[in-house]
Amino acid sequence: MDSVTANSVATTTTGTFHFASRLHAAVRAKGTAALVGLDPRLDWLPPDVLTHARDLHDDPIARAAAAFEEFCVRLIDVVAPLVPAVKPQAAFFEELGADGCLALARVIRYARQAGLIVICDAKRGDIGTTAEAYAKAYLAGADPLAAPWQADALTVNPYLGKDTLEPFVKVAVERGAGIYVLVKTSNPGSASFQDRVADGQTIYRHVAQVVEDLAAQTAENGYGCVGAVVGATYPQELVELRAAMPHAPLLVPGYGSQGGAAADVAAAFASEGLGALINNSRGINFAYRTGTFAEQFGPRQWEAASEAATKQMIADLAMHAVKR
């Protein structure tokens, strides 16, 4: 970490440059830590979005990419007044090839212009200069023009080792960006390797220790630009990992559709609703398709359904999750 000169860069523009400070300013401004995933899935897009795309393009891939972009842009219009941040899922865009990659770039740019913090969920990881190339591709940080995908933060996979996280941290520090390292993921099979006990600790705790060290080294106002992904579906591990990584902002997936409840994610917050973002993707993106919001709104009012679902989540977190 010799090359990471966190303090020299970060403290020159306190609050407007460092990722965690920008993130927490946004959380305070919106009064919630709700994070909305942007997960466009072609089969589930509302009919009006599909109709518009059909009018624009003959090519089915270009059509799908246009539909993804319109869906995400309209969803951003709905949630931008309500939440501090969004998390586009890169995989769904990549499935459409280069057209999808361009749509992802446009969606991220639109979200930034709407004042949102953008966490690109692409789970990248590689060694040396290759890791640095990924970092430079996605981590724009404080200056949106610094990278082709103008994200504030990127999710990163730690399997290759600590030395492979450092190029991401270096770029994050330089640009006022952040990374969220996968520590304990929300899927049922995350135990396969993450829960193995080595030298008296689970692998996810070993990863957490590396994350905490990097977070502490890059901290401003108590939080580093290196955070951790910890699934809401494992509430006990969430308690353990919040304590193990006091300097790391957490990204907590698994709330809602995957089964995590607001009470489960309460442990993610360090204090006053700071230190964590709670993600909901499907439950907000496709609120119009299931449950009470489907009955109340239906496909023609899908934006109203997404708005209601977002407000419900915010109220749920305020009532059950945020420590006072």
Tell whether residue 198 is a contact of its own copies (CB under 8 A): yes
CB of 186 to its own copies, least distance (A): 7
Sole binder of its own copies in the list 136, 146, 217, 298 (CB under 8 A): 136
Residues in a beta bridge with 197:
202
Tell whether residue 217 is a contact of its own copies (CB under 8 A): no
Interface segment toward its own copies; rule CB under 8 A; list 97-105, 270-278, 303-311, 312-320: 97-105
Tell whether residue 91 is a contact of its own copies (CB under 8 A): yes
Q: Which helix (H) or strand (E) holds 201?
A: strand 201-202
Residues in a beta bridge with 37:
87
Sole binder of its own copies in the list 188, 221, 319, 323 (CB under 8 A): 188
Smallest CA-to-CA distance from 204 within 180, 222, 230, 223 is with 230
Interface segment toward its own copies; rule CB under 8 A; list 19-27, 189-197, 267-275, 316-324: 189-197
CB of 198 to its own copies, least distance (A): 4
Tell whether residue 234 is a contact of its own copies (CB under 8 A): no
Burial category of 6 from C-beta neighbours within 10 Å (exposed 0-12, middle 13-18, buried 19 and up)? buried
- Closer residue to its own copies, CB minimum distance, 32 or 186: 186
Sole binder of its own copies in the list 77, 143, 163, 272 (CB under 8 A): 163
Rounded CA gap, 231 and 90, in Å?
Answer: 19
Token digits for 197?
Answer: 């006990």
- DSSP-derived letter for residue 284 is H
Rounded CA gap, 262 and 258, in Å?
Answer: 12
- Closer residue to its own copies, CB minimum distance, 183 or 308: 183
Smallest CA-to-CA distance from 137 within 125, 146, 128, 127 is with 146
Q: How many residues bind its own copies (CB under 8 A)?
A: 57
Sole binder of its own copies in the list 196, 300, 320, 323 (CB under 8 A): 196
Sole binder of its own copies in the list 26, 46, 83, 164 (CB under 8 A): 164
Tell whether residue 260 is a contact of its own copies (CB under 8 A): no
Question: Which of positions 59-88 make contact with its own copies (CB under 8 A)?
Answer: 61
- Closer residue to its own copies, CB minimum distance, 149 or 180: 149
Residues found in the chain: 324
- DSSP-derived letter for residue 152 is S
Sign of CA dihedral 27, 29, 31, 35: negative
Rounded CA gap, 103 and 63, in Å?
Answer: 11
Q: Which one is catalytic: 123, 136, 162, 311?
A: 123
- Closer residue to its own copies, CB minimum distance, 48 or 126: 126
Under DSSP, is residue 323 helix (H, G, I), strand (E, B) or coil? coil
Smallest CA-to-CA distance from 83 within 31, 131, 130, 128 is with 31
Sign of CA dihedral 184, 174, 111, 109: negative
Catalytic residue check, 123: yes
Sign of CA dihedral 277, 282, 287, 291: negative
Question: Which of positions 31-50 make contact with its own copies (CB under 8 A)?
Answer: 41
Hey, which residues are catalytic here? Answer: 123
Residues that bind its own copies (CB under 8 A): 41, 61, 89, 91-92, 94-98, 100-102, 105, 123-131, 133-134, 136-138, 148-149, 157-164, 182, 185-194, 196-199, 203, 206-207, 210
